[in-house]
């Protein structure tokens, strides 16, 4: 069978794989061995599956393919241990993945779409628009390929690369199920963060699923008109609707939300901005993560460490729970979407 006619085995949940094997006349207990090879041992070929007969390995190879993302560029930071990968997908599209080392462990930031529809004005991922959603295997495959190449196991995973995870909802949810399945990788979802620009109905759906993930919400302004200017999604789901969904999320799941806030000089860092954040979030169990906005070529937005620290102090003096995120990989354009843009121009 031609490779492009084969079935994408890495996108399958345990139960889907089990049904496919039974359909081939195999005993369903084989699923356990194969799923472990795929998701527990990052196998890239059926020939590695040494506890499976040669005959079955051949039949698997005829029917399925194992997604193995091709690294076309690798940038290693000279300042820290950050590595950024540019992957080429089977249809020639490109996505980015970043592997980072923190004192508490290794982390991987993955993409969920090729491009993005959301149109946030400060973000490089959205400039050339949206191309398509990533499949489960293309999301999970970024983690496995980066781990194989770097030799670093990812303790935590963040869905903060290119794309809006809540706009590729079904695949992202299947990805979380596959990743956390005890019979495979058994990833603790406490160490998985899903970041969203604020698609309210999806936040509500996610709350009902009680997956145990950490939800990050990209806020970037607590002033409704300002947020609409920099994040068009706010014109569909305004700030009050968003915060109500966030409060309900915390009530339902018992998990506190992390709000991302890229500080942009002269745009969202005034005293009024701080006060608006305070009145929006006070009394809510949450955490604000400030990031100096990463300058992108197409925009004039700027930020500096000292301005961010001043803004952070204002917020913490008001009693808000705030941290300033360390910037890693600044010398290799680790902000999402930047490498893909450069490569494709």
Binding site for ligand SAH (CB under 6 A): 120, 122-123, 160, 164, 195-197, 218, 260, 262, 291, 293-294, 296, 335-336
Residue 215 Cβ vs ligand SAH, minimum distance, rounded to whole Å: 10
Residue 195 or residue 234: which is nearer to ligand SAH going by CB?
195
Residue 12 or residue 116: which is nearer to ligand SAH going by CB?
116
DSSP 252-313: HH-PPEEEEEEE-TTTS-SHHHHHHHHHHHTTS-EEEEEEEPPP-TT------HHHHHHHHH
Strand 156-159's sheet: what is its strand order?
A: 70-76, 83-88, 94-102, 105-109, 156-159, 192-196, 214-218, 257-263, 286-292, 322-324
β-partners of residue 27 are none
Residue 66 or residue 98: which is nearer to ligand SAH going by CB?
98
Q: How far apart are CA 177 and CA 211, in angstroms?
A: 9
Q: What phi and psi values does residue 75 have, to the nearest 5 degrees?
A: -115, 125
Residue 12 or residue 199: which is nearer to ligand SAH going by CB?
199
3-state SS class at 29:
coil
Residue 200 Cβ vs ligand SAH, minimum distance, rounded to whole Å: 14
Residue 136 or residue 263: which is nearer to ligand SAH going by CB?
263
336 assigned to active site: yes
The one catalytic residue in 88, 96, 147, 229 is: 96
Residue 34 or residue 162: which is nearer to ligand SAH going by CB?
162
3-state SS class at 187:
coil
109 assigned to active site: no
Residue 120 Cβ vs ligand SAH, minimum distance, rounded to whole Å: 6
Residue 294 Cβ vs ligand SAH, minimum distance, rounded to whole Å: 4
Compute the chain's Rg from CA coordinates.
21
Instruction: Confirm if 210 and 64 have CB atoms less than 8 A apart.
Output: no
The one catalytic residue in 116, 149, 336, 344 is: 336
Residue linked to tokens 């460490």: 305
Chain centroid to Cα 237, Å, comes to 21
Residue 78 Cβ vs ligand SAH, minimum distance, rounded to whole Å: 21
CA distances from 255 to 211, 214, 279, 295, 324 (A): 10, 7, 21, 32, 21
Residue 233 Cβ vs ligand SAH, minimum distance, rounded to whole Å: 8
Catalytic residues: 96, 336
């Amino acid at each position: 069978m031609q490779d492009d006619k084969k079935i994408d085995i890495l996108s399958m949940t345990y139960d889907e794989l089990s049904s496919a094997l039974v359909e081939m006349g195999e005993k369903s207990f084989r699923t356990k061995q194969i799923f472990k090879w795929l998701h527990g041992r990052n196998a890239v070929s059926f020939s590695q599956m040494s506890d499976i007969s040669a005959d079955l390995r051949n039949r698997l190879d005829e029917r399925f393919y194992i997604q193995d993302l091709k690294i076309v560029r690798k940038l290693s930071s000279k300042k820290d241990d950050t590595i950024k990968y540019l992957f080429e997908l089977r249809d020639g599209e490109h996505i980015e993945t970043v592997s980072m080392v923190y004192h508490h462990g290794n982390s991987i930031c993955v993409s969920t779409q090729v491009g993005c529809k959301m149109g946030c004005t400060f973000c490089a991922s959205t400039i050339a628009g949206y191309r398509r959603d990533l499949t489960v295997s293309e999301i999970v495959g970024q983690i496995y390929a980066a781990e194989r190449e770097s030799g670093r196991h990812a303790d935590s995973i963040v869905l903060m690369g290119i794309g809006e995870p809540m706009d590729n909802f079904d695949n992202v949810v299947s990805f979380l199920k596959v990743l956390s399945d005890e019979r495979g990788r058994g990833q603790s979802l406490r160490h998985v963060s899903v970041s969203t620009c604020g698609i309210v109905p999806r936040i509500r759906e996610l709350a009902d699923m009680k997956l145990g993930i950490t939800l990050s919400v990209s806020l970037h302004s607590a002033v409704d008109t300002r947020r609409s200017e920099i994040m068009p999604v706010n014109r569909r789901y305004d700030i009050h609707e968003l915060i109500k969904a966030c409060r309900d999320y915390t009530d339902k799941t018992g998990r506190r939300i992390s709000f991302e806030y890229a500080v942009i000089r002269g745009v969202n860092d005034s005293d009024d901005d701080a006060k608006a954040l305070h009145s929006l979030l006070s009394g809510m169990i949450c955490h604000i993560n400030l990031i100096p906005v990463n300058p992108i070529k197409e925009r004039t937005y700027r930020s500096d460490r000292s301005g961010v620290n001043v803004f952070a102090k204002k917020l913490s003096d008001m009693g808000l729970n705030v941290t300033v995120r360390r910037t890693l990989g600044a010398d290799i354009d680790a902000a999402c979407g930047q490498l893909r843009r450069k490569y494709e121009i």
